Amino acid sequence: MIGDLFEDFLLFFEPNLHAHIDFSKAPDFLQQELFQLVNDKKKGRGVADQIVKVQLKEGREQWILIHVEVQGTDHADFSARMFQYFYRIYDRYREKIIALAIMTSPHESKAPVDFRYQYFGTTLHYAYTNRKLLDYPVEELQQSDKLFSKVVLAAKYLHSTNDKELQRYQFKMKLMREIVRNEKYPRTAVQAVFHFIDYLLKLPKDLEQKLSEVMYPILGEEKKLMELYNKENASPTIANAFEMERVEGKTEGRIEERLRLVQNMLKKDLSLEEIADLAGLSEDEVLAIRNELLQ
């Protein structure tokens, strides 16, 4: 989600920084460089990192490295690793670095928010920006019009509905309906968020099917989104809605075919019994079709 919705991500977590970045120039995600710099520290860690090179709005060419780390559980060496990542990047590129840590745990984190070192007069203090999902109230996220607030809301729903399937279904349905009905959100962004929500808020098959049934008529009104999903891989909820559309289309086609068949046989003066037998209908249904034709 950070990669797909990077501008929305910054607008939500760091609006002041967002205001200084020129997003007419695409951010450059330096994944290969990051892998080489921190690979030896990443084994066995539940951490996702991004280094993103961006351009500022100032007149001359400038760029800034943003180090993003998503941290879900406490580790005693967390702040030390944040410093190590910072120093390795700085030593390699000698560029300005903004370090941002996103804590996703639903519990209060005890991890330090800075790194301090002091030994025989040698002192070091490294601080970084720390954002905790726990600090964002659900009510505030529900009222927010920022797209990434819905991503954060989905993460919070994951924790609050861990063993409550029906509640998760209700939250997921409300969230998806709200997102798809907001015309301000780019349709490609909606597609990405739906994939994320489907991955995060998984439901049993019966509730997933029920959700698709609810979303199907809403998505049917969203021509641009439906066209986009026809071209790209759909999320499970949307894929199920497509299947419903396909089945419904076949059913309507079969009904129209039967109507034409009955109409042709009526023109040939076949008996109601013969027509019903050939068309696989009851005599009352054939009679109803004939009465409609006579009106």
One digit per residue, the tens of pLDDT, for the chain of length 295 reads 888 899 999 999 999 999 999 999 889 888 766 666 665 554 544 445 788 888 888 866 555 666 555 555 556 677 888 888 888 888 888 877 888 888 887 777 777 788 999 999 999 999 998 888 889 999 999 999 999 999 999 999 988 888 888 899 889 988 988 888 888 888 788 888 988 998 889 988 888 888 887 877 777 666 666 665 555 567 777 777 666 655 454 444 445 556 666 676 777 777 777 666 655 567 777 777 777 666 5
277, HSE (Cβ side, Cα atoms, 13 Å): 5
Residue ranges per domain, the chain?
6-175+185-202, 246-294
**What pLDDT shows up at residue 189?**
87
Helix 187-200 and helix 236-267: axis angle, to 10°? 110
Please count the other Cβ atoms lying within 10 Å of the Cβ belonging to residue 238: 25
**What pLDDT shows up at residue 152?**
94
**What pLDDT shows up at residue 252?**
45
**What pLDDT shows up at residue 151?**
94
Picking from 104, 88, 2, 4, the residue whose alpha carbon sits closest to that of residue 46 is 104
What radius of gyration, in Å, describes the C-alpha atoms of the chain?
28
Give the tokens for residue 256. 């129209």
Picking from 87, 85, 98, the residue whose alpha carbon sits closest to that of residue 40 is 85
**What pLDDT shows up at residue 38?**
61
Task: Record the pTM.
Answer: 0.73
**What pLDDT shows up at residue 191?**
84
Picking from 263, 262, 260, 207, the residue whose alpha carbon sits closest to that of residue 236 is 207
**What pLDDT shows up at residue 249?**
45
Angle, vertex CA 278, rays to CA 276 and CA 282, nearest 5: 20
**What pLDDT shows up at residue 225?**
61
**What pLDDT shows up at residue 251?**
40
**What pLDDT shows up at residue 148?**
95
Residue bearing tokens 């009106």: 295
Helices in the chain by DSSP H: which ranges?
Answer: 6-13, 15-18, 31-42, 78-93, 138-143, 147-160, 165-181, 187-200, 205-220, 223-231, 236-267, 272-279, 283-294
**What pLDDT shows up at residue 46?**
40
**What pLDDT shows up at residue 226?**
60
